[in-house]
Structure 1
């Protein structure tokens, strides 16, 4: 009787422990096959937030400030040119009564062509700013690859997944903060990567 009670108690305790482990795994407090080593999880699968990886790194912060500066300059140029063109249009309209229809049409067409040329030139500048952002992001990905590969080796991971594509995961396998920290040490704001570039 006592032996049977002891066996029942052990079986019940085993079920409770299994349930507790399942609860902890589900709510991110434990994970089978994953352990922490110096703040880095040892897991076959890691996750990363690539937006944060870029934007919160020193490299990404430098790029953001440079792009904002270029866009600010472009907006100021656009406002200045717009004011200038509005004034020229007013002057052209005021001269209309002193011109023949043919002369006014020729001057108006020339003005329209100039406006179109300015618009295309400013759009080209905007496109160049966008291309600058894209080229910097490509440089960042290239510079980040060795850091991420090192993290994969340390954690025995076989894959790093983008968090945005995952329905559910625990914070234990998120290496975003660690990757940002290591990238800041490895490449800083990335200005040294620009040496030798035109």
Structure 2
């Protein structure tokens, strides 16, 4: 395993630890990350509410659970994230439920982007440090098999089209993006991650 990825794993948190870290920082009026501002703290507060809701409402499809439980190997999903990130707030609860229902085939670990710059720089999106980013690691082989992120294809298209038409990322597109996630109900994340895991299994045959 590359030393940069190994270092990221060493610095990582479980989902429960990540949630507590974000909550504790909010209690002090802070957010995760190098930059601190009132707007980022407010985004983090919104994300706390979103994650609390999603943890109660997200349903993992039966076929997804079956595929996860029948994986031939054990994997780590190492996710680059920050508490202020709206996409991460929509996606992490889904990943956590998938991992929980995988019968220990998936171990979810979360690492903060700004504290792990070397790792983030290995998984840029169009040259940018977009998050969340899921790094799929095979435990048995100790190697990275795939990566995914920062958002599902449909959400990425929505964002790309808006930036093409208006040249900015403003509050309107941020609201539209959250509405997209609400309507999608976590299905796209499940389908795209399962497709990745299927491809890993297929490639081993």
Q: Output the TM-score relative to the length of structure 2.
A: 0.27
Larger strand proportion of the pair: 2
**Greater relative contact order (Cα < 8 A, sep 6+):** 1
Question: Which is higher, the Rg of structure 1 or of structure 2?
Answer: 1
Larger helix proportion of the pair: 1
